[in-house]
Homo-oligomer: A and B are copies of this chain.
């Protein structure tokens, strides 16, 4: 993909070389994300940070990325965009805010809303999550985390557990992972299995996929384990939830007994899927992943605005 001027709407638009490019630029900008260096790369440029659906962590991470690159941010939070309330179409909104900003990051509760907004926009749009749809910046930070933690992307087994049926995060992530020589293990109860169409897409792309409901068995096989929340509200029968919720909990003892070298991540917030004592393990990567998010979002902002080249960024 030619990043300059591109919208980042879905992980499906990424080829292998695109992912490698994002990782390469993110690695270069990492010292700025980690507060070791300062930057004026985006000086004089403005990011519109449009979170029609609240997602404070993603918003703060994206705004921090822009600010640490020396750029400015204008922000809309929640349902506040008053012109939308008055009946403005999303593509008019996209066109107007393009008059103010050089790049726009948007989150919305409805699938497809960011695409409509991007239709009207005249500057690049980065999708920061559109309801049950896509969350490409999260997926890119997750694959960046795998690369940073394990030093490579090929020859790995990646296990995912929790709500694989509705989880936007895992749906976005697997469309990046498919480009690498990985085995994917999906750990979920029947009610929350990865959708058939995604499994089919992966197999068509030659990805080795294993599905299991057995948490221990699944985690044992993994080099990298990605936990998501099992949400009570997804179950019709509450007793079914009660049975499962304790099975899908990662504890320090469990890791030490079953897979001591395991690298563990989570899109956060965690509620109970990973106990606090896991934080003590050196494989606990979820807080490092939060920091990686700043570097990856810096890379995307720099790439779509085309300001790489300065600061040694190629």
Contacts and interface: CB of A to CB of B under 8 A. Distances in A.
Contact of A83 (B44, B56, B64): B56
B54 A74 contact: no
Given A64-B74, A76-B56, A270 B46 contact: no
A179 interface: no
A235 interface: no
A232 to B, nearest CB: 11
Contact of A270 (B43, B92, B101): B92
Given A86-B271, A92-B269, A269-B86, A100 B60 contact: yes
A80 B78 contact: yes
A271 B88 contact: yes
A80 B100 CA distance: 25
A204 interface: no
Contacts of A150: none
B96 A64 contact: no
B44 A88 contact: no
A268 interface: yes
Contacts of A99: 61, 287, 290-291, 293-294
